[in-house]
Structure 1
């Protein structure tokens, strides 16, 4: 039995490469143009992208794992510590699904793990990525309150309040990615041995659904947090500049944090917006390969977080050295993260 469900050419595609549905013996396949298939099998897709994910996995897994262990077992439980622990956990969860994507791309865009794991991997990937963005936003607000309004915020900047905030963020991330769990994400490719996961979707199915979903995701989990972070960090930089050279090191770190956020997360979200604003892009999905590369680059933020927020701290490095390289010297001093969640070069650089 052969059934071909062809959508009109004018029908736009959801956030993916467009495919036409073909049903053979009750199995639904997707048909894509040869040019698009060659793009999916290009060196960029089957070599560059999985190599980028492999690098993120090899660097991010040990660095975030060690950071989470030190924060959980050796750090004083301050507001900043709670946010940083959750950030490390979100980065680790994102990194944990990368091996599936690595195998998928190295196998030539072939998903051998089943529909259920495709949905879970896709949801975990986007959910923890945007969860990290929301946690970084909370860290920036916490820093802003500690530096700009230290006395006003002292009463409610508590570890308990930070824990409640993190719980709300995790629930929000789960709600934002729930639609990815509820929708079919993997389809076999017609006349090929490939099963695609999330990268090719039916042209005439759930166009409006995905349009509103990803626009909402970008607005709520990237654009709004970015505005808040820009305001917070610019306010922090202004406050530091008013205090002169004493805080030169902290100003450099604040600028570095802001730079990494914009550099890693902006390209993929901008390409996604361009995809939806261009009728030709929605029709043919010609920006999607570039989007896939930018999405891989955005995961490098999970590698940068430990070094920007943890390992630049002299206290943090000292605690790691004592734990792994100096067992004979015992210490009862607890590791303190900066009260404004900004890692410091030394204690003299504390802002509050």
Structure 2
């Protein structure tokens, strides 16, 4: 009975009709699929070489690349969905699976970006003290805990929300109104999944910039690279994830504060904008390898030699700051 009421309410609450924006969403996911797959596969071998040379940063980069690839593998399903104008015909099980990997790996990527930033910050700020506990085994443990934590939370949400993933119009993850426990989980996602990591990134790179600027052992070019990387990480993190989480927060507040009519009007007005911000977040899978791998001259040169000679590459040095 509850599912029937929700389906009826959705038909009058938000009308998801054929729209030209579906082509735009499909285009964004196609770009994320093609470029994300190419960039992550292209940088896979140099990252493996870092791990073989006992570079802790390589562990985080590989975990981030695996997360991005899992994220990318859901793209064909969303391309199919938007190609059919928000109609999901692959069954509820596939809808649940696609959403699980999509959202789980979004936050796995966010937390791994934080790990990389913290690791860089510690190396710059306390270069001698961190040597005693900066080992690959600890990095693997941290990455594993992040995967387990995020996927466990999304498994719980998926189980409790299993009847609300699709409505009578076959919309996948576009059922309205949201339920109370989903609204509560959205607040957690915004708080610990976005705002807290953003704060960590800002503090880490502020600390890195401060230390590097005061250092006399780093030349102007090195300082410029650090500045560009720091600003770029925070900017891209904000561009890819901020719009989505801001609207997610606004939707959850509207659900809790507005009456049904006002809430439905709000959801109808922002629906396609919200869909665009969700698609925009997928571009992070393109930017991760560019920011953390291709920024390094050492890795670029080594990767070029790998492709040019097609022979076993030599050990690489750590990424420069």
Indicate if the aligned counterparts of 1:120 and 1:181 stay in contact, CA closer than 8 A: no
Give the paired residue count.
Answer: 307
Q: Deviations over 1:272-329 (max 9, x none)?
A: 11112234574441323211101111111110111111112222222222222234xx
Counterpart position of 1:145: 122
Alignment counterpart, residue 215 of structure 1, candidates 170, 184, 187 = 187
Q: Is 1:323 aligned to 2:306, yes or no?
A: yes
Distance 1:138-1:4 versus aligned 2 partners, 3 A rule:
closer
1:130 aligned to 107, 128, 144, which one? 107
Partner of 1:178: 155
The reply on whether 1:276 has 2:276 as its aligned counterpart is: no
Q: Deviations over 1:35-55 (max 9, x none)?
A: 943x542111x2111110111
More helix by share: 2
- Partners of 2:166 and 2:205 lie apart in 1 by 43
- Alpha-carbon distance between aligned partners in 2 of 1:314 and 1:4, rounded to the nearest angstrom: 56
2:279 corresponds in structure 1 to: 296
Query: Equivalents in 2 of 1:3, 1:69: separation in Å?
Result: 51
Q: Is this contact kept in 2: 1:176–1:217, CA < 8 A?
A: no
How far the C-alpha of 1:208 sits from its partner, in A, is: 1.6
SS at match of 1:154: helix
**Higher deviation after alignment, 241-250 or 218-227:** 241-250
**Structure 2 counterpart of 1:91:** 68
- Tell me the CA shift for residue 136 of structure 1: 0.3
Correspondent of 1:312 among 290, 295, 303: 295
Which residue number in structure 2 is paired with residue 21 of structure 1?
Answer: 7
The offset of 1:207, in angstroms, is 2.2
- Match of 2:286, SS state, is helix
- Are the counterparts in 1 of residues 49 and 315 from structure 2 also a CA contact under 8 Å? no
The TM-score normalised by the length of structure 2 is: 0.88
Corresponding residue SS for 2:7? strand
* Structure 1 counterpart SS, 2:85: coil
Runs of 4+ in 1 over 3 A off after TM superposition: 2-6, 279-284
Q: Does 1:230 align with 2:202?
A: yes
Whichever structure has more strand as a proportion of its residues is: 1
Q: 2:271, 2:215 → 1: CA distance?
A: 46
Partner Cα distance (1:72, 1:255) in 2: 27
**Aligned mate of 2:225, from 233, 249, 257:** 249
Contact 2:306–2:313, Cα closer than 8 Å, also in 1: no
TM-score, scaled relative to structure 1 = 0.81
CA distance in 2, matches of 1:126, 1:168: 17
Residues 50, 105 of structure 1: 8 Å contact kept: yes
- What residue in structure 2 maps to residue 345 of structure 1? none
CA RMSD of superposed structures (Å):
2.3
For the pair shown, the structure with the greater C-alpha radius of gyration is: 1
Which residue does the alignment assign to 1:260?
236
Task: Name the SS of the counterpart of 2:315 in structure 1.
Answer: coil
Q: 1:242 to 1:4 in 2, by over 3 A?
A: closer
Give the whole-Å Cα distance in 1 for the aligned partners of 2:298 and 2:201. Answer: 26
Question: Cα 1:234–1:282, aligned 2, differ >3 Å: closer, same or farther?
Answer: farther
Offset of residue 58 of structure 1 = 0.7
Verify: 1:69 aligned to 2:45, yes or no: yes
Give me the whole-angstrom Cα distance separating, in 2, the residues matched to 1:274 and 1:93.
28
The 8 Å contact of residues 123 and 180 in structure 1, kept in 2 or not, is answered as: no
CA contact (8 A) 2:50 2:318 kept: no
Q: Distance in 1 between matches of 2:35 and 2:95?
A: 24
Unaligned runs of 5+ in 2: none
Supply the distance in 1 between the matched residues of 2:154 and 2:92 (Cα, whole angstroms).
Answer: 16
